[in-house]
Structure 1
Amino acid sequence: MAAIQWLRCPKTGAELVIDGDRLVSRDATTRLAYPVRDQVPELLPDCGVELSPDEWSTVMSRQL
């Protein structure tokens, strides 16, 4: 079982998906992305960056 299955968005508790060097929340309302630096995700609430609706949709479409 991959560790990503246990990681959650610190603000919403939503599942996260891997998108390059960041983890993106599946929550369509907040659309938060968290950086991964040196293979360590920065899952602090203040580290989340809100994606535009279009960018978030593009990331989610790649997950299917």
Structure 2
Amino acid sequence: MRTTIYRKIMTAVFALLLPAAASAQESADTIATQELDEIVIQAPKIIRKADMDVLYPSESAVEN
């Protein structure tokens, strides 16, 4: 009988302390951010692998 009372008390204590512990872990972001207008990705036109060459055509070659 005592163990059920202790379990109920411990459950109530944990239920009350859990939101306080969760809110204590929130912290403000200290890293400055910067928004970029445009990103340009550059890569080589030919990638040489052991068994093949991978070719990426230019935009004009794709259009033609």
* TM value normalised by structure 2: 0.18
- Greater percentage in strand: 1
Quick check: which has more Rg, 1 or 2?
2
Give the structure with the larger helix fraction.
2
